[in-house]
Structure 1
């Protein structure tokens, strides 16, 4: 894997449309997420989870929330998982890639301040500026509005914004002492939960490919690309109501670790 191999950037951005809630059965593919090519020198991901000490809750309206359980990052042990310091081997690279896929696929990426902090943590230093510049061009007021948010990226009153990714598995496709390319197979949720939402929470399947480099004592992202699938045959589950989905998001905290 050549250090100079950068190529064309491509980032997964959700589309603005979507069916309203109403108990419809899921389709085989989500229309709320799509692959969008962004010309540049680095590959960028939409989205992020907050690392444990930064807060990575899905954004939700504050109205009517009194007495409800609050979303919080969770881990198997109940303690905050490490966000860095992965082992300098292939398993460490896979762990880093899985966690980074989660980190770059949550609601925090819609906040300029939180997004930049995440990029500082997980991108190799020489590429941070490129990532920041391209993502700033992607997360525009028009884009935020297209996914159902306010122009400033905040969630409209009475709704709950959901953006989460769950890694299903990882695979190393190339490796050397200080470089590794890891594929992360993921399932994702994206949408706006609420009675009148035209962008309801939908599910998608995709595979992220992360080129990592050992830098400063840890694995860092050099480039990322994404492709759709593999997607399983959709089940016979009936879609939940807007209230049920919003309640689930509020009561079940998103994970801040993956592998």
Structure 2
């Protein structure tokens, strides 16, 4: 991994999807409001009282519901076909788990704005693309109308852009933003810092052909609003994103993606940092360009 000084990945926002989950495989579980079932995303910190925990869970439920809405009716959309241009023939490759050690190969040849682009046309390139796109798709910027448009147009396959942009605009409406404590531009109130940052832990290719790939990205992250009096305190989460990629215009692009919980480790009893420390960390520590 190499530091990304322009801030890519600085603000990762967590949303769960249903366009297969923002994706296509339809693995998302329906998240119900507090008291109606479901296990919840909040960390098990002894210091947090039950009221605060329910508040965190409620906000996460909203985020998950928005993504599920954005993915409804999208269908599979196809995975770009198996061996579309015949370079590898028509037989798709079913890839299993691979060693997690870094290869040392540079992940990309360039960037489109702050998002890496120019991934290699091979298995490693598909994994690097999926890891970097996961960070962008659950970033805080996806909640900002102007940045959302840029992300969708840079990450998704051309045939998916208009549909996804419309659905995401509907999902992240003003009413939704109000409920998570953000204004219509996706900004937190004065004195508050909205935190949504994701870090890929590992990747796994489950399908690969010359024209398409399916990659699972295991992620962790921190999500919430840092600030005195915040009703949505920053908490951590673990989840797995599945991205269906298509080789298009000499790069890997997202055709669809989905999201599910875990695998999650046991949380330690480490004392939570205060809001100022969290906000400061988000401002001072930059993101990365992720490689396989």
Fold equivalence (TM over 0.5): yes
| Residue 198 of structure 2 corresponds to residue 187 of structure 1 | no
1:14 to partner: Cα distance? 10
Contact 2:145 2:185 in 1 (8 A): no
C-alpha spacing 1:138/1:249, structure 2 compared with 1 (3 Å): same
1:114 aligns with 2:137: no
Q: Secondary structure at the match of 1:93?
A: helix
Indicate the SS of the match to 1:9: coil
**Distance in 2 (alpha carbons) for counterparts of 1:86 and 1:26:** 45
| 2:201 alignment counterpart | 168
Which 4+ runs in 1 deviate beyond 3 A?
A: 11-19, 25-28
Other-structure match for 1:133: 166
Q: Distance in 1 between matches of 2:205 and 2:254?
A: 14
Measured in 2, the distance between the counterparts of 1:207 and 1:96 equals 15
Candidates 177, 198, 201, aligned match of 2:231: 198
- 1:146 is aligned to 179
2:47 is aligned with 1:24: yes
The counterpart of 1:223, out of the listed 252, 256, 280, is: 256
Q: TM-score, normalised by structure 1?
A: 0.74
Mapped to 1, the partners of 2:213 and 2:132 lie a distance apart of 15
> 1:72 maps to what in 2?
none
- Matching residue of 2:282: 249
CA contact under 8 A between 2:214 and 2:244: conserved in structure 1?
yes
Q: Residues 81 and 257 of structure 1 are in contact (CA less than 8 Å); yes or no, is this contact kept in structure 2?
A: no
- Match of 1:115, SS state, is helix
For 1:88 and 1:216, how far apart are their aligned partners in 2? 11
Q: 1:40 offset after TM fit, Å?
A: 2.1
TM (norm. structure 2) is 0.66
- Report the alpha carbon displacement of residue 152 of structure 1 after superposing the two structures with TM: 3.3
Seen in structure 2, the aligned counterparts of structure 1 residues 114 and 156 have a Cα distance that, compared at 3 Å, is same
Q: Deviations over 1:186-234 (max 9, x none)?
A: 0021111001000011111100000001000000000101110000000
CA RMSD between the two structures: 3.2
Residues in 2 aligned to 1:111 and 1:8: alpha-carbon distance in whole angstroms: 20
Deviation at 1:33, TM superposition (A): 2.8
Which of 109, 115, 118 in structure 2 is aligned with 1:85?
A: 118
Question: Displacement of 1:25 after TM fit?
Answer: 6.1
Structure number having the greater helix percentage = 2
Change (3 A) 1:14 1:107: farther
Measured in 2, the distance between the counterparts of 1:191 and 1:40 equals 29
Shift of residue 10, structure 1, vs aligned partner: 2.6
**Structure 1 residue aligned with 2:128, among 95, 98, 101?**
95
Residue 134 of structure 1 and its aligned partner are, at CA, apart by: 0.8
Give 1:140 deviation, angstroms.
0.7
Aligned equivalents of 1:145, 1:257: Cα separation in 2: 32
**Between Structure 1 and Structure 2, how many residues are aligned?**
215
**Secondary structure of residue in 2 paired with 1:132:** helix
